[in-house]
Structure 1
Amino acid sequence: MTTAWHALAQLVSWPDLTEVRSSCGTGRALGSAGGEIAHFHSDHGVDLHLTAGAIRRYGPDLRRSTAIRLVPGSHWVTVRVECEADVSLVMTLMSAALRAHQEQPDTLAASAARCNDRLEAALTHRDAL
């Protein structure tokens, strides 16, 4: 079992999370009462919907982590999951995401925004031009 799937296996047992169909069409997803909250795109990639407020609050710490990628304008963060410490990071960020969704959910338009999977590909392509 790869590290991202190990994280998913742990998270599906959390009472506030259920496995749902990924709206981006890639991989597997977890949802909460506020909608989709995590996408597991690959053996080593997880997108977490933290909300704009949580990204502002935790932004400096998130930017210091080499395992985390922030996409400008996105309310999702991408975590590269390569070892058990990264799995722990996903668990911590999931707790923060659940709390953020309960305390100050994103607006309906922001909640409907897609994860970083497609955004990252578009940005990477644009940057290459």
Structure 2
Amino acid sequence: MKTLDQSAGSLAGRLTAQLDAWPAVRAGRAECGVGTGFSPAQRVGAQIVHLHGGAEAAVHLTRPVIARLGDVLLKSGRVAVTPGDDWVRVRIDTESDVALVMSLASVAIQANGPSGTAAQNVAISPCHAGSSG
């Protein structure tokens, strides 16, 4: 599924292609209205990754995961964490940012999957596209 209007050679285009290739996720329009959203195949409609335009990704990690990884994510200098939010944001400027988002998407699938921390049909909080905090 072509999900964003961008070239496959762009970083966001490569990230989209990689996420589209995973059988564990399904692509669609981001529920926040900005860009493309990806849902775990077992929780269609419960989006865990949003690509906002070509420069930013938001990943739903859940508060328990952010509580465990928050310091490391912040120290990376690549991830924005808003206190009390389930979503983290990553600016996509380099190939390593693409790899980081893919790794975080894998964590999000686990955290939001059938045996994850949000597995009990808990609603996924909305993404705050474009907000700074």
Could you state the TM-score of these two structures normalised by the residue count of structure 2?
A: 0.81
Asked if structure 2 preserves the Cα contact closer than 8 Å seen for 1:77 and 1:116, the reply is: no
Q: Percent identity?
A: 33
**Residue identity in the other structure for 1:28:** T
CA distance in 1, matches of 2:103, 2:69: 12
- Deviation of 1:65 (Å): 1.6
Residue of structure 1 in register with 2:117 after alignment: 104
After superposing on structure 2, the runs of 4+ consecutive aligned residues of structure 1 that deviate more than 6 Å are none
Q: Distance in 1 between matches of 2:91 and 2:61?
A: 16
**Residue type matched to 2:60 in 1?**
H
Q: Distance in 2 between matches of 1:71 and 1:60?
A: 12
Report the secondary structure of 1:90's partner residue. helix
Q: Does 1:115 align with 2:127?
A: yes
Correspondence for 2:95:
84
Is 1:22 aligned with 2:30? yes
Does the 8 A contact of 1:48 with 1:78 survive in 2? Answer: yes
Distance 1:54 1:39 in 2: 18
Q: Deviations over 1:24-81 (max 9, x none)?
A: 1111111113310111002110000111111111111111122111112210000011
Tell me the matched-pair count.
119
Give the TM-score normalised by the residue count of structure 1.
0.84
C-alpha displacement of 1:21 = 2.2
SS across alignment from 1:23: coil
RMSD: 1.7
User: What CA distance in whole angstroms lies between the structure 2 residues aligned with 1:95 and 1:51?
Assistant: 13
Deviation, structure 1 residue 6: 1.2
Counting only pairs closer than 5 Å after superposition, residues 48-87 of structure 1 correspond to structure 2 as: 48-87=59-98
What is the match of residue 3 of structure 2?
Answer: none
**Is the 2:25–2:39 contact (alpha carbons within 8 Å) kept by the matching residues of 1?**
yes
**Matched residue, 1:126:** none
